């Protein structure tokens, strides 16, 4: 019985040793092939990134001479080193040919931002502060007129008036849903809402829900911007089915 167990252990040890030898041989072979120039990295492309240009993304990757090789680049950034890129949740590396790499970028899902002490803080759909920067780099609506208790990364935004939190999230989500070109969302002292889109102000007022207004605005705003209108669109009392909306031209 003891001999049988001993034989099994010896066999397992031999298998582990053989695997290590094979791994070393493969690594040596890969390094040899890598440095012969066969896998010279010539093209790196990115996909899925709107916050940065391709050159800006690549600044986080190509740092050493070894990064000019397709295989070594793939192994390094796929398994060994993961650069932290602001506004990027994660990324994946693909070999698209012996001389080409594709970097798939998966950006953080943000719906709006706020400014505090010269810093911009970005919110996700749950109202969690997930990123910050000294410049407004994302094409997202800026929330203004709101007083905060605390702003901490990876925590939900803490506002002075708790009821305003759900309004911020609802309007931000609707702007994102309808792909509205909105620069700023402002709240006054009475929690009445005004949207700013270039030279157009949209008065929404204060109500329980804003989906009806923003659904209609998604039809009106592109037309107004196409005509390069400047002024105020009054939708405070707008109701579904209403065929006339007042516009005060500046």
Question: Are residue 95 and residue 117 in the same domain, yes or no?
Answer: no
32: in domain: no
Question: Are residue 141 and residue 245 in the same domain, yes or no?
Answer: yes
State which of 107, 124, 153 marks the end of a domain.
107
Both structure tokens of 76: 């390094």
10-residue averages of pLDDT along the chain (250 residues): 58 75 71 67 90 89 80 87 89 92 93 92 93 87 91 89 90 95 94 95 95 94 89 91 83
4: in domain: no
- Can you give the CATH number for the domain in which 80 is found? 3.10.20
Helix (H) or strand (E) holding 43: strand 43-47
- Can you give the CATH number for the domain in which 164 is found? 3.40.50
Question: Are residue 129 and residue 158 in the same domain, yes or no?
Answer: yes
Question: Are residue 139 and residue 64 in the same domain, yes or no?
Answer: no
Cα dihedral 205/208/211/212 (nearest 10)? -70
133: in domain: yes
30: in domain: no
Question: Are residue 43 and residue 150 in the same domain, yes or no?
Answer: no
Q: Distance (Å, rounded) from C-alpha 238 to C-alpha 205?
A: 10
Per DSSP bridges, beta strands 100-107 and 88-97 are antiparallel
With beta carbons less than 8 A apart as the criterion, state whether 167 and 156 touch. no
In SS3 terms, 86-144 reads as CCEEEEEEEEEECCEEEEEEEECCCCEEEEECCEEEEECCCCEEEEEECCCCCCCCEEE
Distances (CA, A) of 38 to 61, 93, 100: 21, 19, 12
| CA–centroid distance for 110 within its chain | 6
Q: What domain count does the chain have?
A: 2
Q: What domain range is 93 assigned to?
A: 39-107
Question: Are residue 126 and residue 181 in the same domain, yes or no?
Answer: yes
Question: Are residue 169 and residue 116 in the same domain, yes or no?
Answer: yes
Q: Distance (Å, rounded) from C-alpha 226 to C-alpha 199?
A: 12
Question: Are residue 101 and residue 221 in the same domain, yes or no?
Answer: no
Per-residue model confidence (pLDDT) at position 7: 62
Per-residue model confidence (pLDDT) at position 188: 94
Question: Are residue 84 and residue 118 in the same domain, yes or no?
Answer: no
The torsion region of residue 145 among left (phi > 0), alpha (psi -120 to 50) and beta comes to left
Residue 212: CB atoms within 10 A of its CB come to 15
Per-residue model confidence (pLDDT) at position 2: 47
State which of 53, 79, 107 marks the end of a domain.
107
Per-residue model confidence (pLDDT) at position 31: 65
């Amino acid at each position: 019985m003891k001999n049988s167990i001993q034989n099994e252990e010896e066999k397992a040890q031999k298998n582990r040793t053989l695997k290590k030898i094979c791994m070393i041989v493969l690594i040596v072979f890969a390094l040899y092939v890598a440095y012969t120039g066969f896998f010279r990295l010539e093209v790196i492309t990115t996909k899925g990134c709107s916050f940065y240009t391709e050159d800006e993304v690549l600044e986080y990757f190509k740092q050493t001479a070894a990064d000019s090789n397709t295989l070594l680049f793939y192994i390094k950034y796929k398994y060994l080193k993961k650069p932290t890129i602001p506004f990027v949740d994660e990324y994946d590396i693909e070999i698209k040919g012996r001389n080409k790499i594709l970097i798939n970028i998966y950006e953080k899902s943000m719906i709006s931002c706020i400014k505090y002490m010269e810093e911009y803080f970005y919110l996700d759909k749950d109202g969690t502060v997930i990123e910050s920067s000294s410049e407004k780099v994302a094409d997202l609506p800026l929330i203004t007129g709101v007083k905060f208790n605390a702003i901490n990364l990876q925590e939900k935004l803490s506002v002075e008036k708790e009821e305003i939190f759900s309004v911020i999230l609802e309007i931000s989500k609707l702007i994102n849903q309808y792909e509205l070109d909105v620069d700023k969302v402002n709240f006054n002292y009475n929690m009445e809402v005004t949207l700013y889109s270039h030279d157009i102000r949209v008065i929404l007022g204060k109500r329980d829900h804003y989906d009806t207004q923003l659904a209609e605005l998604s039809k009106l705003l592109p037309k107004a911007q196409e005509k390069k209108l400047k002024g105020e669109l009054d939708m405070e009392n707008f109701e579904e089915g209403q065929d006339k909306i007042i516009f005060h031209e500046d």
